[in-house]
Amino acid sequence: MLEVVKADCAGSCYGVQRALDLARKAAESGKTAQTLGPLIHNPQVVQELESSGVTVAHEPSDVTAESVVIRSHGVTPHVRSEVDALGVDVVDATCPHVLRAQRAARDLALEGRTVIVVGEESHPEVEGLRAWAEEAGGRVIVAACAADLPDTIDEPVGIVVQTTQRREKLDDVVSALRARGIEPEIADTICNATTSRQGAAADLAARVDAMVVVGGKNSSNTTRLYEICAGIAPVAYHIETLDDLPAHAFAGMQRVGVTAGASTPEEQIDAVVDAIRNGERS
């Protein structure tokens, strides 16, 4: 019989759970509510919120509700002022770890440093970090890895990291700078929720025939979990729901591991674990 093992640490992190709780509370408050952008990178959860009356406003100018929820990725100072100017109730669900990274970006810039944001250029959290540093008068470089660094970088240099980045990416950028004789001030803003999920996923991936990673295809931390698992387990799948798995995904296998990104609620993980245990896709 197929054994299904769930990673020791998987699914919703503190910041995502807090944002979800705040959005659900806003829905129950009797006032109309909208989130500024999809609350989390998980289409199923966004749909659930919509059915309870919490819709998505993509820009502050789209807000028509009486309260607006800022998601866990945070916003730029400019967007925050636009939201405040609307005169509606603001529910700030920015994760405290992201707030810490925003402050670090601002402080490094205030110290007169070129701020290198290690992260994905178009990610909303990174856009926020960039803006907080620029607002404080900093020169900003966004680098997903050492290869993205420009040929010339004005010193002194400070580094801040997108909370969901892999530590190897930070190490890669720091080593490249040191090789050029630049010693950066490092604000290590990588979140433990991410590293502990990555560690547990890597451990499990080494002991199974296949890994299933549950979470939004648009979730960067889920995608990174998948990359880690795909590099270790013989087979790895990144799915949002069971429907994304091929018909006989686990045929002939003995043991399957399941993990999930920080934006995946417990119920979604358990549904997948139960279905695989019950022989679906064997």
Among 4, 88, 98, 256, binds ligand SF4 (CB under 6 A): 98
Q: How many residues bind ligand SF4 (CB under 6 A)?
A: 14
Cα distance between residue 154 and residue 63, in whole Å: 40
Among 10, 115, 126, 193, binds ligand SF4 (CB under 6 A): 193
Altogether, the residues listed in the chain come to a count of: 282
The full DSSP string for 58-98 is SSGGG--SSEEEE-TT---HHHHHHHHHTTSEEEE---HHH
Q: Output the smallest distance, CB 98 to ligand SF4, in A.
A: 5
Residue placing its CB nearer to ligand SF4 in the complex, 64 or 192: 192
Which strand (E) or helix (H) includes residue 187? strand 185-187
Strand order in the sheet with 255-260: 3-6, 255-260, 210-214, 235-239
Answer yes or no whether residue 22 interacts with ligand SF4 by CB under 6 A.
no
Could you give the residue numbers annotated as active site?
125
Is the N-terminal amide bond of 77 cis, ω within 30° of 0? no
Residue placing its CB nearer to ligand SF4 in the complex, 41 or 80: 41
Q: Output the smallest distance, CB 32 to ligand SF4, in A.
A: 25
Answer yes or no whether residue 208 interacts with ligand SF4 by CB under 6 A.
no
Q: Output the smallest distance, CB 78 to ligand SF4, in A.
A: 22
Residue placing its CB nearer to ligand SF4 in the complex, 168 or 243: 168
How does strand 255-260 pair with strand 235-239? Answer: unpaired
Answer yes or no whether residue 76 interacts with ligand SF4 by CB under 6 A.
no
Buried b (16+ CB within 10 A) or exposed e, 241-266: ebeebeeebbeebeebbbbbbbbbbe
Answer yes or no whether residue 97 interacts with ligand SF4 by CB under 6 A.
yes
Q: Output the smallest distance, CB 77 to ligand SF4, in A.
A: 19
**Residue 126 CA, distance from chain mean position:** 11
What residues line the site for ligand SF4 (CB under 6 A)?
Answer: 13-16, 72, 95, 97-98, 163-164, 191, 193-194, 262
